Amino acid sequence: MGPAHPRLPYGHRPLDRPRGVRRPFHRHPGSPELNAEPADQIRLLDVQALDVRLSQLAHRRRTLPEHAEIQTLEADLAQLRDLLVAAQTEESDTAREQTKAEQDVDQVRQRAARDQQRLDSGAVTSPRDLENLQHEIVSLAKRQGDLEDVVLEIMERRESAQERARELAGRVESVEAKLTDAATRRDNAVAELDQEVASLTKEREVVSASVPADLMKLYEKLRVQQGGVGAARLHQRRCEGCRLELNITEVNDVRAAAPDQVLRCENCGRILVRTPDSGL
Ligand SMILES: [Zn+2]
């Protein structure tokens, strides 16, 4: 028994299939031999070019800068709206608090007025009752002053809540305007891309209808397997799908193959299309 490969030392097993015993092009695993006119094969490259442009457009549609912009603005807006609701709630809470505190002041004031009336009326004559009444009037005046301070403090909080709500409402409005603007720009960009996609799709339908069905079927299968590229041009002995240059054996096989034989790249498995620039 000799070495596995003449160029490798005895007993060394190459990781890759040795180049010397490579499969002939037409017996690519899993695919029956396929024939197609050279012109049909070249039209397949046109389909491929359209597919590349279509997937670029789909990528651009997905990654429009407006998407990220809108996402950021929507997050900002949600946060601002929460803050606005909080400020408005505080404003209505302090309004209620103010009404209540003002009622307290009123009660004290009315009671002091009644006391003052009784004092002025001369109806109270007992010195002890008079003293009590005067004491109460003094303490009610102090109480009224304290309660008025409370009202003032509440009014200050209410005003600052109003101020904050006004400022936040302004910011909400401004972000809403930016959002509307970004959404319009996004919609315009999407509409433009969709129009281009529609026209390229129509073009693809026409071109692919002129490619034999079995060749299209193989192409579609490979396109899914090979990251969107199912057919590649052989250019200057290089597969434009995987960028690998064919070795001399492969070049000789390609040269020997009939023009209508559908070739596959030995490296990436893509349909390899010969053109006048293939360097054969
Ligand atoms: Zn390749």
Give pLDDT tens digits for 201-216: 999 999 999 999 999 9
What mean pLDDT, rounded, does the chain reach? Answer: 91
How close is the Cα of 244 to the center of ligand 1, in Å? 6
pLDDT at residue 17 greater than cutoff 80: no
How close is the Cα of 9 to the center of ligand 1, in Å? 28
How close is the Cα of 41 to the center of ligand 1, in Å? 16
Q: Which residues surround ligand 1, an ion (CB under 5 A)?
A: 239, 241-242, 265, 267-268
How close is the Cα of 18 to the center of ligand 1, in Å? 17
How close is the Cα of 234 to the center of ligand 1, in Å? 9
| pLDDT tens digits, one per residue of 108-132 | 999 999 999 999 999 989 999 999 9
| pLDDT tens digits, one per residue of 227-279 | 999 999 999 999 999 999 999 999 999 999 999 999 999 999 999 999 999 99
How close is the Cα of 273 to the center of ligand 1, in Å? 11
| pLDDT tens digits, one per residue of 65-77 | 999 999 999 999 9
Q: pLDDT confidence of 32, banded at 50, 70, 90?
A: low
Q: Is the Cβ–Cβ distance between 150 and 115 less than 8 Å? A: no
How close is the Cα of 210 to the center of ligand 1, in Å? 24
How close is the Cα of 190 to the center of ligand 1, in Å? 34
Q: What structural domains and CATH numbers belong to the chain?
A: 33-62+212-274 (no CATH), 65-203 (1.10.287.1700)
How close is the Cα of 6 to the center of ligand 1, in Å? 25
Alpha carbon 20 to its chain centroid, in Å, reads 50
How close is the Cα of 267 to the center of ligand 1, in Å? 5
pLDDT at residue 23 greater than cutoff 80: no
**Whether this model's pTM surpasses 0.95:** no
pLDDT of 33 reads 80
pLDDT, average across residues 29-39? 79
